[in-house]
Chains A and B, each alone.
Chain A
Amino acid sequence: MLDVATIRKDFPILSRKVNGNPLVYLDNAATSQTPQQVIDVIVDYYSNYNANIHRGVHTLSQEATDKYEEARKKIQTHFNAEKSHEIIFTSGTTHGINLVANGFASLIQKDDEIIVSALEHHSNIVPWQMLCEKTGATLKVIPMNEEGELVMSDYDNLLSNKTKLVFVNHISNALGTINPIEDIIKKAHQVDAAVLIDGAQACPHIKPDVQKLNVDFYVTSAHKMCGPTGVGMLYGKETWLNKLPPYQGGGEMIAEVTFEKTTYADLPYKFEAGTPNICGGIAFGAAIDYMNSIGFDNITAYENELLIYATKKLLEIEGLRIYGNTDNKTSVISFNVGNIHPYDIGSIVDKLGIAVRTGHHCAQPIMDFYKIPGTVRASFAFYNTFEEIDTFVDAIKRAAQMLS
C-alpha cells in the first residue's frame, strides 16, 4: 500500500489553495503535477551546467551531454527498448505522431490504407488525414461500442494487404478505456502493417515493454508522468527508423553538409534537428526515476481502488451517467449529471477548489457517438486521496443542486 500522505509532501503544488479552498487536483489526464525531485533537477540544470550539447568541448557542454544521454538510457531501460538510439527525444506525443506520419508519406501510395480507432482525440486524427490527402491513401476507423470499447471483430475485417499502418491509443484520454493493443499489434503484423501506439495516457499508470509488445512505434509525453511539458519520446524499431526519412532539417541531424549534398547523421540524431529541450529531457529521466521509486504495481493497484471508490460514490448521485464502462479502464471517469451542461458543473466546482476537465476533451467523434456536447472528466493519480474524492463528490452534488 502506498504512503500517500508522505508522497503528497513531494508535490509543493498540492498544498496550495484555489478560490479559498484547498486544491483538489483531478485533471491528471491533462497533465500530472511535478514532484520536488524533478523540480530540483530542473533548477540544478540551469544553476550548474546549462550548455548546448553534442558540440562543445568545454566541461559544461560535456556534463550536459552526459546527463542528456543518460536520460535517454533511463527511458530506454524503462520502456525496455533494445537499443538507446531507438529512443528519439520529441517535444511530446503530438510531435512523435507527426514525425511518423510525415515519414510514412514516402512509404505510402495511393489506395493504401491507414487504420485508426474511433477512440482517438483530434491530434491523433489530423496527421493521418493530412497524410491521406498527400498520398491518396484511405483512412479507416475501428468503431467503438456503447461501453467505450473498440469493436475488434470490425478491426479484423478492416485489415487487408492494403493496410500499411495501424494507429491506436494505448488508453483513451476521454474515457480511460485500455485498448487491447497486444492483439491489435499481432493482427496488424499478420498483414505486414506497421503499428504506432500513442501511450500518453498509459505511461502514468503502467510500464509498457516495447519489445514484449513487439510494437513498431510508441510515443508518449513527459508531462503526463510527473515530468515537464514540452518533451516526450518516440520509440521506433531500428529497422523502421532507418526506413523513415528525416522529419526536420537543421543542426544536430547532419553528418556532412556541402551545397551539393548532405549526409544525415545516424540514429537517433537524424530525427533530432536543432538544439533540443535539454533540461526537459534530463528532467524526463528524473520523472521516470521518481515514478519507479513509487513503483508501477503500487500505482496501478492504488489508482484502481480510487477508481472503484469514486465510481461507486458518483453513481449515488441521481441522474449521473458515466461514459466508458468497460472493466478494463484506468482511473478516469467521464460523466454528466442529467442534462446539465458540463461547462456549468466545471465552473461551479472550480469555485470550490476542484480541478476537473470539462468539454469534449478534443475527442469530438466520441462525444458525437454519445450525442452529448461534452463531459466532466475526473482523472486520478497516485497522489490523490479518498478524502479528495469525498470533497469532489460533495461539490458535484452541490453544483447539481444549484443547476437543476
Chain B
Amino acid sequence: MKIKDIQNEIIDEFYMFDDWMQRYEYMIELGKSLPLIDNQYKTDDNIIKGCQSKVWVHAEMKDDKVVFTADSDAIITKGIITILIRVFSNQTPKDIIEADTAFIDEIGLKEHLSPTRANGLVSMIKQLKMYAIAYQTQIK
C-alpha cells in the first residue's frame, strides 16, 4: 500500500473515536503491544534523545524497501511510533523522502510532534528520512 493510502486508512480509523480519551486509550493499547524493535538494536547508537522520552530506531533494506523498527520508554510515544512505522516502513526510499506527516494533525495528535514536546518524535521522523536519503544515495 502507498504511504498516502495508509495515512488515509489511519485517519478513517481515528474518526471512529468520539473524544481524546478514546484516542489516547487506543494509543496506549498500541504502546503496550510487543516490543517493536529487536533487542540487539536497542543500543545507545540507535538512541534518539528527547529531553523527556527516549526513542530507538533501526533501519534495514529489504527488497528495495526500507524496513524500520523502533521503540520508546514512554507508552504514548511508543503508540505514536507504532503508527509512524505502519506508515513509513516497507516503503521505497523515494516515497519515504517525499512523504509528509500532516495526517498526525488530522488524528488529533499534533501536540506530540511539536518540537517543544521534546519526546524524540520530531527527531525520529527526521531520522527515518535520513535513513531513506542514505539508502536512496546507495541505489543511485
Write the residues of chain A forming the contact surface with B, with a CB cutoff of 8 angstroms: 19, 340-344, 346-348, 350-351, 358-360, 373-374, 402-403
Closest 6 CB pairs of A and B: A341-B74, A343-B74, A359-B52, A343-B52, A343-B53, A344-B76
Chain A residues positioned under 8 Å from B112 (CB to CB)? 347
Q: Are A343 and B76 within 8 A (Cβ)?
A: yes
A373 closest partner in B (C-beta):
B73
| Chain A residues in 8 Å Cβ range of B52 | 342-343, 346, 358-360, 373-374
Closest CB-CB distance, B79 to chain A, in whole Å? 10
Q: Tell me the smallest distance from the CB of B122 to a CB of chain A, in Å.
A: 14
Q: Is B7 an interface residue (CB 8 A)?
A: no
Knowing A347-B76, A347-B112, A403-B75, the reply to whether A341 touches B24 (Cβ < 8 A) is no
Known: A348-B24, A351-B20, A402-B28. A341 touches B51 (CB 8 A): no
Q: How far is the CA of A45 from the CA of B112 in the complex (A)?
A: 38
B119: A residues at CB distance < 8 A: 343
What residues of chain B lie closer than 8 Å to A358, measured between beta carbons? 52
For B54, list chain A residues within 8 Å (CB): 373
Which one of B20, B51, B75 contacts A359 once the chains associate, using CB atoms below 8 Å? Answer: B51
Give me the interface of B with A, judged by CB distance under 8 Å. 20-21, 24-25, 28, 51-54, 73-77, 111-112, 118-119
| 9 A-B residue pairings within 8 Å (CB atoms) | A19-B20, A341-B74, A342-B52, A346-B52, A351-B20, A351-B21, A373-B53, A402-B28, A403-B75
Contact present for A343 and B77 (CB under 8 Å): yes
List of B residues within 8 angstroms of A348 by Cβ: 24, 76
In the bound complex, CA of A351 to CA of B111 (Å) = 11
Among residues of A, the one whose C-beta sits closest to the C-beta of B112 is A347
- Cross-chain pair count, CB within 8 angstroms: 47
CB of B35 to closest CB in A, whole Å:
15
Q: Give the CA-CA distance A348 to B19 in the complex, in Å.
A: 13
Query: Which residues of B have CB within 8 Å of A350?
Result: 111
CB-based contact A341/B53 at 8 Å: yes
CA distance A178 to B6 in the complex (A): 54
If A342-B52, A360-B51 touch, whether A403 touches B28 (CB-CB below 8 Å) is yes
Q: Specify which chain A residues have a CB less than 8 angstroms from the CB of B20 in the assembled complex.
A: 19, 351
B24 pairs with A402, CB closer than 8 A: yes
CB-CB nearest in chain B for A347: B76
Rounded to whole Å, the gap between the CB of B99 and the closest CB of chain A is: 25
Contacts of B21 in A (CB 8 A): 351, 402
Say whether, besides A341-B73, A343-B77, A373-B73, A402 and B25 are in contact (CB < 8 Å). yes
Given the interface contacts A359-B118, A374-B52, does A351 sit within 8 Å of B24 by beta carbon? yes
Complex: how many Å from CA A36 to CA B75?
40
B48 CB, min distance to chain A CBs, angstroms: 14
Cβ of A398 to closest chain B Cβ, rounded Å: 9
What residues of A have a CB within 8 angstroms of the CB of B111 in the complex?
347, 350
Report the Cα distance A359→B73, complex, angstroms: 12
Task: Closest B residue to A342 by CB, please name it.
Answer: B52
Closest to B32 in A: A403
**Nearest Cβ on chain B to A30's Cβ, whole angstroms:** 12
Of the candidates A344, A351, A373, the one having the most CB atoms from chain B within 10 angstroms of its own CB is A344
A358 vs B118: C-alpha distance when bound (angstroms): 11
